[in-house]
């Protein structure tokens, strides 16, 4: 079947955008630590797409809708239920999805290696990720994969402008001192920050279409990657509860407390 | 439809009689069409005495506290409309025709009374400062203002009983107050009644994890109860936009419906017992915690919905349903009211046991909300739709529920009941959709003066009311 595309987009991109998304505990859920302190309670808890990954996917879709890309591929690494998150991605508008199934714990370096294998196979012109996942807050995957691929990276993006002619992406980054603007040669890795865009809702017509979209299943072995964790979680505990404030009756008492209890004087 | 027109004509006639020909379309609020066919109208009262005039005025413009009653026995109650998300935005900003007159047989508060109250409640329990009284005297919509000079905050049923006993002996009028989130002016004084605010009675007394029965004091804020139950794996059977401030005692006294009525039923079913203090200070302990109790007469049902006119509710024992993990929310668009009704029937059949909320709003309500509230965006921006529907499902298995809901929605689109829709993909999106629906009263308040009535109508007649009113008021107010 011939797909009709406008003249403009036919000229420009056959650029493919790959977006890596992660299935995490829903942002609004109250987290509970497991009694044995080995981790956080995840059974029977609502899971959703990592908010930053949502933003990354939204940006990819907007780039495609503006005619600068031809295809958006969503990828995810994790247990079988990741398919749900990928379906959400497809319902938002991604064209197809790849699921690398692995039931165990995954750390950023392993993800980066898997993504590198996928990038080598799919050859996207742009790799978008969320800046960090809200469950581990690592903020490492984007940077690591840029290193492995030897691609330029624009992290904490709050604005992305693509120039297809010169194959350059201009990225505004949110840094401690304010905003920094970088020019990256494509292909590049961009990780998204909160203010980049507001993700769209999954509409019913798109959810219908998503049912017929393909989710390719792979395993790390298919990509010749051995998952090895160099890290071991020893213990997970709640942060200490805030102690109630104390109302003091005199300055002397304050000085005494600062000296002897808080030990800051 | 004929019913509506007939009652409307009756009201116009009666309104003229009562208020010297000044046309008052607000009287619509006094007619109650329920399936039982009960219609209550003013022409039924015999010779209209001066008292009746004041009464009717008060009945229509707000819910009165019966403790101020002259023993007339005119009891009107206005059950909440089920699941209706529309409000009538009235163009007429003039207040009610004649002002009610304070009944002279009620005394005024004097310094001896204050001394007595301070003795019982302590300094903190007696509030006389202007600023705090200002809030307590004004209703949530800022439409009505009482002139009470005294607010009491009892901490226990015993204190409530003592206060009421004293007020009864001194013939001091009182008004019970909870969260003061009522939208029809029922929680504030009309004149200078003593305000009895239950906010200090906010203890959770007990919770049985096996049966899910919660016993708490009437001043507990609904949201706090919801959080407490959340930790235990249960939820409250009612949920409303005002949950951050409303108190359970008020909810019970007004028989609040809320968003989950369609799933968990009304409070008449969920409240297993309550403790109330009557006007003369007698404490009625009906605080049963049994799921079924047929001993004696079930008096608690009289209190539920009686709006404080029979007594002040001080403790509530309520059955709470277990918290289910899988919640899905869809925001949908329909082209006309008939489709909305058909969608409701279809939802009840196809979604069955997992349907937990069904709310509808029309385009005017949607526009107002988007205009006046920050941080909200239209979930269906691609085109303007006449009606929007919120459907929520709650169940125990995510995959099963999602499949069921998606199948139902897809089928509804194919059969033409729906024109468009979105499905919330995470809790934040779901909260955003709910904020649109729950924010309607707030948006209305920001838009201008509101005349608000709680009407119960048969579902098929509901929107006729809106169209009829629009016809009367003219299309200019939007």
Q: What is the pLDDT of residues A7-19, one digit of tens each?
A: 444 444 579 999 9
Residues near A120 by beta carbon (within 8 Å), at least 6 away in sequence: none
pLDDT of res. B469:
86
Q: Domain holding A117: CATH number?
A: 3.40.50.620
pLDDT digits (tens, 9 = 90+) for A210-251: 989 999 999 999 989 988 888 888 999 988 888 888 888 899
Query: CB B425 to CB A48 under 8 A?
Result: yes
From A13's Cα to the closest Cα of chain B, the distance in A is: 27
Residue A143 clears pLDDT 50, i.e. is over it: yes
| A224 assigned to some structural domain | yes
Dihedral sign computed on CA atoms, order A87, A89, A91, A95:
negative
Identify each DSSP E strand in B243-290 by its residue range. 271-277, 283-286
**Residue A44's CB: how many other CB atoms inside 10 A?**
11
Which of B162, B188, B168 lies closest to B63, judged by CA?
Answer: B188
The range of the structural domain enclosing residue A191 comes to 16-239
Beta-carbon contacts below 8 Å between A and B: 63
Which residue's structure tokens are 């308040």?
Answer: B445
Which chain B residues are closer than 8 Å to A212 by Cβ?
none
| Residues forming beta bridges with residue A184, ordered by sequence position | A169
pLDDT of res. B80:
37
pLDDT of res. B476:
54
Q: Which of B325, B379, B406 sits opposite A201 (nearest CB)?
A: B379
Please tell me if residue B379 touches chain A, with a CB cutoff of 8 Å. yes
From A185's Cα to the closest Cα of chain B, the distance in A is: 34
Q: Which of B230, B326, B428 sits opposite A27 (nearest CB)?
A: B428
Mutate to test the interface with B, among A28, A29, A33, A204 (most CBs of B within 10 A): A204
Which of B429, B439, B421 lies closest to B370, judged by CA?
Answer: B439
Q: Which of B326, B413, B428 sits opposite A204 (nearest CB)?
A: B413
Query: CB B427 to CB A203 under 8 A?
Result: no
| A111 assigned to some structural domain | yes
B235: left (phi over 0), alpha (psi -120 to 50) or beta: beta
Query: CB A27 to CB B431 under 8 A?
Result: no
Please tell me if residue A228 touches chain B, with a CB cutoff of 8 Å. no
Here the tokens at position A136 are: 């581990």
Query: CB A204 to CB B420 under 8 A?
Result: yes
Q: Which residues of chain B fall below pLDDT 50? A: 1-11, 13-95, 478
Residues near B32 by beta carbon (within 8 Å), at least 6 away in sequence: B38, B39, B40, B78, B79, B455, B456
pLDDT digits (tens, 9 = 90+) for A50-60: 999 999 999 99
| A246 assigned to some structural domain | no
pLDDT digits (tens, 9 = 90+) for A96-137: 999 999 998 899 999 999 999 999 999 999 999 999 999 999
Which of B290, B308, B301, B310 lies closest to B247, judged by CA?
Answer: B308
Please tell me if residue B421 touches chain A, with a CB cutoff of 8 Å. yes
| A198 assigned to some structural domain | yes
Which chain B residues are closer than 8 Å to A44 by Cβ?
325
Tell me the HSE value of B260 on the side-chain side, using a 13 A CA sphere: 21
pLDDT digits (tens, 9 = 90+) for A58-91: 999 999 999 999 999 999 999 999 999 999 999 9
Percent of chain A with pLDDT over 70: 95
SS3 label, residue A7: helix
Mutate to test the interface with A, among B395, B418, B422 (most CBs of A within 10 A): B422
| A254 assigned to some structural domain | no
pLDDT of res. B429:
93
Mean of the per-residue pLDDT values of chain A: 90
What chain A residue is nearest to B323 in terms of C-alpha separation? A44
β pairing state of B151-152 and B194-197: parallel
For chain A, the domain total comes to 1
Please tell me if residue A204 touches chain B, with a CB cutoff of 8 Å. yes
User: What are the φ and ψ backbone dihedral angles of A165, each rounded to 5 degrees?
Assistant: -60, -50
From A177's Cα to the closest Cα of chain B, the distance in A is: 27
Report the Cα B459 to chain-centroid distance in Å.
18
pLDDT of res. B66:
31
| A28 assigned to some structural domain | yes
Which chain A residues are closer than 8 Å to B330 by Cβ?
204
**What is the pTM for the complete model shown?**
0.76
| A6 assigned to some structural domain | no
Please tell me if residue B413 touches chain A, with a CB cutoff of 8 Å. yes
Which chain A residues are closer than 8 Å to B422 by Cβ?
201-204
CB A229, CB A102: distance < 8 Å: no
Tell me the HSE value of B394 on the side-chain side, using a 13 A CA sphere: 17
Q: Which domains, ranges and CATH numbers included, belong to chain B?
A: 1-101 (no CATH), 111-197 (3.30.43.10), 204-319 (3.30.465.10), 326-447 (3.30.70.2190)
| A251 assigned to some structural domain | no
Query: CB A201 to CB B431 under 8 A?
Result: no
Please tell me if residue A30 touches chain B, with a CB cutoff of 8 Å. yes
Tell me the HSE value of B35 on the side-chain side, using a 13 A CA sphere: 5
Here the tokens at position A229 are: 């964790």
Based on C-alpha coordinates, what's the Rg of chain A? 22
Report the Cα B185 to chain-centroid distance in Å.
11
């Amino acid at each position: 079947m011939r797909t009709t595309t406008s003249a403009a987009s036919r000229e420009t991109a056959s650029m493919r955008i790959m977006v890596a998304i992660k299935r995490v505990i829903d942002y609004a859920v109250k987290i509970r630590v497991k009694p044995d302190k080995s981790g956080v309670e995840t059974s029977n808890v609502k899971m959703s797409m990592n908010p930053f990954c949502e933003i990354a996917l939204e940006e990819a879709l907007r780039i495609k809708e503006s005619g600068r890309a031809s295809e958006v591929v969503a990828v995810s690494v994790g247990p079988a239920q990741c398919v749900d998150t990928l379906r959400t991605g497809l319902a938002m508008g991604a064209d197809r999805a790849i699921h690398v199934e692995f039931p165990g714990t995954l750390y950023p370096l392993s993800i980066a290696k898997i993504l590198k294998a996928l990038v080598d196979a799919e050859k996207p012109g742009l790799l978008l990720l969320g800046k960090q996942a809200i469950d581990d807050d690592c903020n490492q995957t984007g940077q690591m994969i840029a290193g492995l691929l030897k691609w330029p990276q624009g992290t904490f993006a709050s604005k992305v402008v693509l120039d297809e002619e010169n194959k350059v992406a201009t990225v505004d980054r949110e840094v401690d001192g304010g905003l920094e603007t970088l020019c990256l040669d494509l292909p590049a890795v961009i990780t998204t920050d909160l203010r980049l865009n507001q993700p769209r809702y999954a509409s019913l017509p798109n959810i219908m279409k998503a049912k017929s979209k393909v989710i390719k299943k792979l395993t790390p072995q298919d990509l010749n990657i051995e998952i090895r964790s160099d890290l071991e979680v020893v213990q997970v505990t709640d942060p200490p509860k805030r102690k109630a404030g104390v109302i003091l009756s005199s300055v002397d008492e304050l000085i005494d407390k600062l000296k002897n209890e808080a030990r800051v004087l | 439809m004929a019913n509506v027109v007939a009652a409307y004509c009756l009201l116009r006639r009666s309104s003229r009689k009562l208020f010297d020909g000044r046309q008052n379309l607000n009287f619509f609020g006094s007619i109650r069409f329920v399936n039982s066919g009960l219609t209550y109208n003013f022409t039924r009262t015999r010779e209209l005495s001066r008292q009746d005039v004041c009464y009717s005025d008060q009945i229509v413009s707000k819910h009165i506290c019966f403790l101020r009653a002259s023993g007339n026995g005119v009891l009107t109650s206005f059950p909440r409309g089920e699941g209706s998300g529309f409000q009538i935005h009235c163009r007429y900003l003039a207040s009610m025709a004649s002002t009610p007159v304070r009944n002279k047989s009620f005394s005024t508060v004097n310094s001896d009374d204050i001394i007595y109250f301070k003795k019982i409640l302590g300094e903190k329990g007696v509030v006389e400062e202007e600023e705090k009284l200002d809030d307590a005297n004004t209703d949530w919509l800022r439409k009505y203002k009482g002139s009470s000079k005294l607010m009491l905050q009892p901490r226990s049923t015993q204190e409530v009983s003592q206060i009421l006993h004293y007020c009864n002996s001194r013939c001091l009028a009182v008004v019970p107050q909870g969260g003061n989130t009522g939208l029809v002016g029922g929680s504030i004084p009309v004149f200078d009644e003593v305000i009895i605010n239950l906010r200090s009675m906010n203890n959770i007394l007990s919770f049985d994890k096996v049966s899910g029965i919660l016993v708490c004091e009437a001043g507990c804020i609904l949201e706090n109860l919801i959080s407490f139950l959340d930790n235990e794996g249960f939820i409250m059977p009612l949920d409303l936009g005002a949950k951050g401030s409303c108190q359970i005692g008020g909810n019970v006294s007004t028989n609040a419906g809320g968003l989950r009525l369609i799933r968990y039923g009304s409070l008449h079913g969920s409240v297993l017992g309550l403790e109330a203090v009557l006007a003369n200070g007698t404490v009625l302990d009906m605080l049963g915690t049994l799921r079924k109790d047929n001993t004696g007469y079930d008096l608690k049902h009289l209190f539920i919905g009686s709006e404080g006119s029979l007594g002040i509710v001080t403790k509530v024992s309520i059955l709470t349903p277990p918290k289910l993990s899988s919640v899905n929310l869809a925001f949908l668009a329909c082209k006309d009211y008939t489709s909305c009704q058909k969608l409701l029937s279809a939802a009840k059949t196809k979604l069955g046991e997992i349907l937990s909320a069904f709310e509808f709003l029309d385009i005017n309500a949607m526009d107002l909300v988007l205009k006046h509230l920050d941080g909200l965006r239209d979930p269906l921006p691609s085109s303007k739709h006449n009606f929007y529907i919120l459907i929520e499902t709650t169940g125990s298995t995510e995959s099963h529920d999602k499949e069921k809901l998606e199948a139902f929605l897809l089928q509804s689109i194919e059969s033409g009941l729906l024109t468009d829709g979105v499905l919330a993909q995470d809790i934040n999106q779901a909260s955003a959709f709910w904020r649109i629906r729950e924010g309607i009263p707030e948006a209305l308040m920001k838009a201008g003066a509101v005349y608000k009535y709680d009407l119960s109508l048969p579902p098929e007649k509901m929107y006729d009311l809106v169209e009829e009113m629009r016809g009367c008021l003219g299309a200019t107010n939007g």
